[in-house]
Chains A and B, each alone.
Chain A
Amino acid sequence: MNLLSIEGLGISFGGIKAVNNVSFGVKPGEIVSVIGPNGAGKTTLFNMISGVYLPGAGKVILNGEDVTAMSPHLLARRGMCRTFQNLQVFQSMTVLENTIAGYHLQESGSVLADILNLPSSRRRAKAAEAGARDLLRRVGLERAAEREAGSLSYGSLKRLEIARAMALNPKVLLLDEPAAGCNAVETEEIDHLIAEIAASGVAILLVEHDMKLVMRISNHIVVLDHGEKIAEGDPASVSQNPAVIAAYLGAENAAG
């Protein structure tokens, strides 16, 4: 049973079909990657799934519920979280505060209890902080907890975004180029981190340029070209697929 189903999703910008009739599913604990040459529509597809763009056609089904075009904060409450290629963190808050912000959903204290600093409110804040520190340890940022997020390196910010998304306790995690701009060591760390998150039962949908990473960790790969799905399957079959090879070589020829 798919946790996340994409059914015939499509969108046009000024008459050009950026994404056309794309369907696939993601099961709990599975890592599905979306690959394709530059401009294939990967990020556009992601933006439609996560409610940033309004799809022109098709449906997004999360856990049996139609969540098409639902705004990001409602998707987050239903267990679908994402990270962004160009990083969306709270720059002037500390790393720890950024992660605690992820616990926002699980806390449900009243304004009055918070203002009076009642024991229930303090307990909740303590639990959120402990959980956040634990997550930061898992992504290897525990020593940067008190630093301002704006001062972190690109690779560290990527991991901070993943930690914050994990704080929401997601069922589905959308990762937009988590390894972009990271060096080989950082990429391998992110690789382990993603595999570990999937092993805990989270469905993971990944857009990534690093083919080695994609081939290593994906259970299933969806290939886009010019907005259309041209192939899907396990890493071995996709890498042998003539249509996929043609799309990548063709893209390279066009670029050269």
Chain B
Amino acid sequence: MSELLQFLLSGVTVGAVYALVALGFTIIYNASDVVNFAQGEFVMLGGMITVMAYTAGAPLPLAALAAVVATAAIGVAMNKLAIEPARGAPVVSLVIITIGASIFIRGAAQLVFGKQIHTFPAFSGDDPIRILGATILPQSLWVIAGSVAVFIGLWLFFTRTLLGRAVLATSNNRLAAQLVGINTPFVMTLSFAMSAGIGALSGVLVTPITMTSYDVGLAFALKGFAAAMLGGMGNPKGALVGGFTLGVLEGLTAGYISSQYKDAAAFIVILAVLFFMPQGLFGRKSTDRV
């Protein structure tokens, strides 16, 4: 019993990370139908910039805030310098541009931060909390709380606010959005800022658990992408459920079968789901006229 609980708890922790990365994917996807593969680099930048500011003497909360703001600015720059000049290109080209941007950011990070592995102290100490014979780190609770908070914020943003609905309208039909007076270039800038900021926040929350280096982004991007696809790309609820499902699956496979198979098991389940539900668990149906 306590063994199962332990596997579940570690799965939920990992799942919360995937959910956070997947939530970052949803915003840019909602605004532009582009899957931004540089999302993982935003996670890396969040951790790295925090490390840099913290070692330079800034208090941890201030360092974390600086990392989120700086990464959001890098996201905006990426939109202005790489995505906007290619406006009108097919979505596939834009996705490839994001892959190029991620390679560039990774290379630049290697030059600026070096190749070492970094970390900073956990927010609330390292003493494990005992629950029914299983243990969980306080930092895991931070990650879980962070992903749930970001989810609630995004859910409210997209369903309740005018600005959130303007983002959805822009993705649905950019020209029609302009016709009703939506400033679509601003919507794109905002989306990149928010996605990058959320990515950086994930990096800040997980670095005390997983540590960070210049090349951790790719793994986050792949798992977050898988989680988002599983839940249904573009839907915050899907990102959250997809992330936690993927994490728990990995946790159980690692615990009961072998940790070497954890990635394989997770991807098999994703393939199975997408085979029967190509839109993911909560995806919107495509209703284009032909």
List A residues at the B interface (Cβ < 8 Å): 71-73, 76-77, 81-82, 84, 88-93, 101-102, 104-105, 107, 109, 111, 114-115, 117, 121, 148, 150-151, 164-165, 167-168
Contacts and interface: CB of A to CB of B under 8 A. Distances in A.
B156 A88 contact: no
B176 A90 contact: yes
Given A101-B169, A150-B288, A88 B175 contact: yes
Contacts of B179: 72-73, 76, 81-82, 88, 164-165
Given A91-B173, A150-B289, A165-B179, A73 B184 contact: yes
Contact of A89 (B161, B176, B183, B184): B176
A102 B169 CA distance: 11
A104 B285 CA distance: 25
23 contacts: A72-B178, A73-B182, A73-B184, A76-B178, A81-B179, A82-B179, A88-B173, A88-B179, A90-B169, A90-B172, A92-B287, A101-B165, A101-B180, A102-B180, A104-B165, A104-B182, A105-B180, A111-B161, A111-B162, A114-B156, A165-B179, A168-B180, A168-B181
A115 B160 CA distance: 6
B261 interface: no
Contact of B178 (A73, A90, A114, A164): A73
B83 interface: no
Contact of A76 (B172, B180, B286): B180
A144 B285 CA distance: 20
A92 B284 contact: yes
B162 A109 contact: yes
B104 interface: no
B38 interface: no
Contact of B181 (A73, A109, A150): A73
A71 B183 CA distance: 9
Nearest to B152: A115
Q: Which of A71, A72, A81, A107 has the most CB of B within 10 A?
A: A72
B285 to A, nearest CB: 8
Contacts of A151: 287
Contacts of A101: 165, 169, 176-177, 180
Given A88-B175, A148-B287, A150-B288, A114 B160 contact: yes
Contacts of A71: 178
A168 B177 CA distance: 12
B149 interface: no
